[in-house]
Amino acid sequence: MAFTLPELPYDKGALAPYLSQETLEYHHGKHHNAYVTNLNALVEGSEFAGKSLEGIILASDGGIFNNAAQAWNHTFYWNGMKPGGGGAPTGDLAAAIDRDFGSFDNFKSEFTQAGVTQFGSGWAWLVLEGGKLKVTKTGNADLRQPVQQVALLTVDVWEHAYYIDYRNLRPKYVESFLSNLVNWEFVADSYEASR
Ligand code: MN3
């Protein structure tokens, strides 16, 4: 069965002014949609036809991997944001961030640093590895590299994610993502499910 573009979990204008409706129209409606469309075309008639998205990511390389991973990464990115998001996590997740980063502020600077220093296109991540929270970054389509890492949060730092709203100011975009957009309930649910 062909993959379909998942609906956004909010209206396209709901993340404004931090991410504009125009950004979501292009990023979800054009970029994310193209990964799904390309993946369907590449998988049709191949050994990957009928496989799950996760199954394809783990077993493929080249164009099929790139499009499958980007389809997965974008859905995960959308789910990690919400209107009125940002602020700070609570409960067990907040305690784990304090334990593994020293403080929430330290986590924020480490995550921002990862997003800002990813050269070219890619992603910054909060992951859980061996019971410990870590910040990491990946290039292009790559996701949590070793499969032992469970993704909890990601920010897309490809230029198409922020150029309409922030032009070349990637640090401002990542700061805005953390301060105004992160859906910490989603992150906490992923954390609880993977402990
Ligand atoms: Mn993108």
pLDDT cut 70: percent of the chain above it: 97
Segment 93-115 mean pLDDT? 98
For residue 51, how far is its CA from the centre of ligand 1 (angstroms)? 23
pLDDT tens-digit readout, 17-74 = 999 999 999 999 999 999 999 999 999 999 999 999 999 999 999 999 999 999 999 9
Query: Distance, CA 102 to ligand 1 centroid (Å)?
Result: 31
Range of the domain at 141: 91-194
Q: How far is the CA of 74 from the centre of ligand 1 (A)?
A: 6
The mean per-residue pLDDT over the stretch 140-153 comes to: 80
Q: What is the pLDDT of residue 151?
A: 94
Q: Which residue has the tokens 């949609």?
A: 33
Cα Rg, the chain, nearest whole Å? 16
CATH code: domain of residue 185:
3.55.40.20
> In this predicted model, what pLDDT tens digit does every residue of 85-101 receive, in sequence order?
999 999 999 999 999 99
CA distance 29 to 45: 26
Query: What's the confidence (pLDDT) of residue 141?
Result: 86
103 and 172 together in one domain: yes
How far, in Å, from the CA of 49 to the mean position of ligand 1? 24
| Residue 148's pLDDT band (cuts 50, 70, 90) | confident
Contact (CB, 8 A) for 36 and 71: yes
Share of the chain above pLDDT 90, in %: 94
Compute the distance from residue 34 Cα to the ligand 1 centre, in Å.
11
Domain count, the chain: 2
C-alpha 47 chain-centroid distance: 27
Quote the ligand 1 centre to 122 CA distance (angstroms).
Answer: 8
| Cβ atoms within 10 Å, residue 146 | 8
Question: Contact, 50 vs 59, CB < 8 A?
Answer: no
Which of 58, 79, 100 is the last residue before a domain boundary? 79
* Shared-domain flag, residues 70 and 111: no
- Output DSSP code: residue 27: I
Instruction: Quote the pLDDT of residue 40.
Output: 98
Q: How far is the CA of 158 from the centre of ligand 1 (A)?
A: 6
Report the alpha-carbon distance of residue 102 to residue 107 in Å, rounded: 8
Residues 59 and 137 in one domain: no
Q: What is the pTM of this model?
A: 0.96
What is residue 69's predicted lDDT score, i.e. its pLDDT? 95
